[in-house]
Every structure is written in structure tokens, then in C-alpha cells.
Amino acid sequence: MEQTVSKIEELLEKPCYVIDFLPEQVKPSSRGQFFDVKCYLLNSDKHFLLKDKFVNIIIKLMCYYHVSI
């Protein structure tokens, strides 16, 4: 158990990357809200909350499945 906890703590110290899995890139001329939302998240403290939510989901999934990230 201690080995697992230390591994999780070690992983949490490493850089975090978000992989874009959507089918196409948003064009700069797009009329949607993508760039407004992106700007908001990147320029506010909300991006730390979002990162924490992703980390929590990944840790929870690791409880059920053997994964390598």
C-alpha cells in the first residue's frame, strides 16, 4: 500500500498534459465559444480546479483498472 501511495505522489509531481481527443481542430474563424472558454480557463484560477478534477478521475480509475500513464 505504501508503495502505491508513494507512486501516486510521485506521479502527481510530474507535469500534466491534456490530450486533445476530439475529431478535428477548432478553426480560428469558428463562430463557437471555444476560444472564449479556453481564454477564461487559462487566465483564471479555474484551470487548477479543472486539473485537480482530472487527477481525481484518473486516480479513481486506477482503483478499478491497472493502467500506465
pLDDT tens track of the chain, all 69 residues? Answer: 788 888 878 877 888 777 777 778 888 888 888 888 888 878 887 778 878 888 888 888 888 877 776
Residue pair 22/65 in contact by the 8 Å Cβ criterion: no
Q: Tell me how crowded residue 41 is: count the other CB atoms within 10 A of its CB.
A: 13
- What is the per-residue pLDDT for 23? 77
In this prediction, residue 45 carries a pLDDT of 79
- Alpha-carbon span 46 to 32, nearest angstrom: 21
Residue type, 58: I
